[in-house]
Chains A and B, each alone.
Chain A
């Protein structure tokens, strides 16, 4: 029998990361889509960096930053009792940063593709920015939100380099499925590695398929 802990940990990490990313990415994407600020290109670049940087680079800098022997890591530890190196919380922070562009980009382009006059109409009708966001903008970019959620979730399930750097390989705490597979291969347990891999393959395939079916409107046609 295989050890289910790495798989459970992976999906726990992916779920929490995705949930927090929704909360972070909506305001950020809103700002990126509508702001005319001069620092916008810099923020846009920073958000996109995880797309091109090797995950080990991000992992390395996070490791250095969060280390308790460092000022920032020390401050986190003293003020919040947060130890981000080799802990689940650390994995969470790293995953959020690493998957940020996968959530922000679809939502940002969703906002940008909406007609600007929808916002104008809502303002002229006396509605606040918040009302406009929740009742006009978000309901009209549902498919972008869904795409962002799925991509961020799937990407977190699949990450390896970052979690290995910042999380180490502590069973039950930071040993996620992708690392477990690596471990098993190193120990020449190909059978177990194969089981993990098949499960990951099956689950992610199913999730992505469902999303494409929903976004493509195939499900609606089937239900008719």
Chain B
């Protein structure tokens, strides 16, 4: 259980903002932070890891006080033992993949964990490569493995998958879910991707200008369930065209671009860049054999 009650003044692009979060995260959950950039999501993770200090607040993790500004307790990041995967991966450029993982070992820790992690995230044939020669997805796997070397109880991922294409993204989601279960982690994930959140997380916090604006189960917050659709995909509106009484929407779903029709009331609510759910009932799709 993570109890978090923090306040911090932040300077954002739009002026000063008060970050004020008071919540609890259950042990063993995989929770997501969702929200616009600049809303304070990364700051929350950094405060939890001890890399930033709030003006006032208290952090208690599994009964141990990590931070209490009124009692002047503030554990250093070195003592908090969290796993942290940064947005830019932050692999040490001077070390090979294996050396990156070895560097993460605690004093007197056995090296066994390293071969175990290399196997889980499938890095076997890359272990002697330098980070600069790796692709984004490979770097991400190294960063994930490195964060887990000391077997932390909390894993924090700052938009770990945002820079990757959809296939690699899906595979990495599986890796994250796998280590989450295998190592009994409490995992906090920052994500912009609704389908990712729906697939992965148990609980969702929406952060707006430094405060929790909504929280709950992701499927309840994004109310799709009542549609009772048989096929559903989430995509981005990339073009919007009005023709007589209809709108023609061009939507990007994964790598594919599809065109669908929306009626006047639906179309009027949409603008380019909106995330939409495209759903269809079972009785009208066209099935075409391709092999």
Q: Which residues of A contact B (CB under 8 A)?
A: 115, 117-118, 120-128, 135-136, 139-140
Contacts and interface: CB of A to CB of B under 8 A. Distances in A.
Interface in B76-121: 76-84, 86, 88, 90, 92-94, 103-104, 106
B173 interface: no
A207 B106 CA distance: 42
Contacts of B76: 123
Contacts of B163: none
Given A118-B92, A120-B84, A124-B84, 6 more contacts: A115-B90, A120-B49, A123-B76, A127-B78, A139-B94, A140-B94
A126 B81 contact: yes
B92 A126 contact: no
A135 B51 CA distance: 20
Nearest to B76: A123
B150 interface: yes
Contacts, number: 56
Contacts of B92: 118, 121-122, 136, 140
A140 B90 contact: no
Given A124-B84, A125-B104, A117 B78 contact: no
Interface string B167-185: 0000000000000000000
Given A115-B90, A118-B90, A136-B92, A126 B150 contact: yes
A139 B88 CA distance: 20
Nearest to B152: A124
A124 B106 CA distance: 11
B114 to A, nearest CB: 13
Contacts of B150: 125-126
Given A118-B92, A126-B81, A135 B86 contact: no
Nearest to B49: A124
B88 A124 contact: no
B37 to A, nearest CB: 17
Contacts of B49: 120, 124
B63 to A, nearest CB: 21
A140 B146 CA distance: 19
B90 A128 contact: no
A128 B79 CA distance: 10
Interface string B49-65: 11100000000000000
Contacts of B106: 126
Nearest to A127: B78
Contacts of B81: 126
Per CB-CB distance, the 9 closest pairs between chain A and chain B, nearest first, are A139-B94, A117-B90, A123-B77, A117-B86, A124-B84, A126-B78, A121-B90, A125-B104, A120-B51
Nearest to B104: A125
Interface centre among A117, A128, A136, A139 (most CB of B within 10 A): A117
B118 to A, nearest CB: 17
Contacts of B77: 120, 123-124
B137 to A, nearest CB: 19
A182 to B, nearest CB: 45
26 contacts: A117-B86, A117-B88, A118-B92, A120-B49, A120-B77, A120-B90, A121-B92, A122-B92, A123-B78, A124-B49, A124-B50, A124-B77, A124-B78, A124-B80, A124-B83, A125-B103, A125-B104, A125-B146, A125-B149, A126-B81, A126-B106, A128-B78, A135-B103, A136-B92, A136-B94, A140-B92
Contacts of A128: 78
Contacts of B46: 120
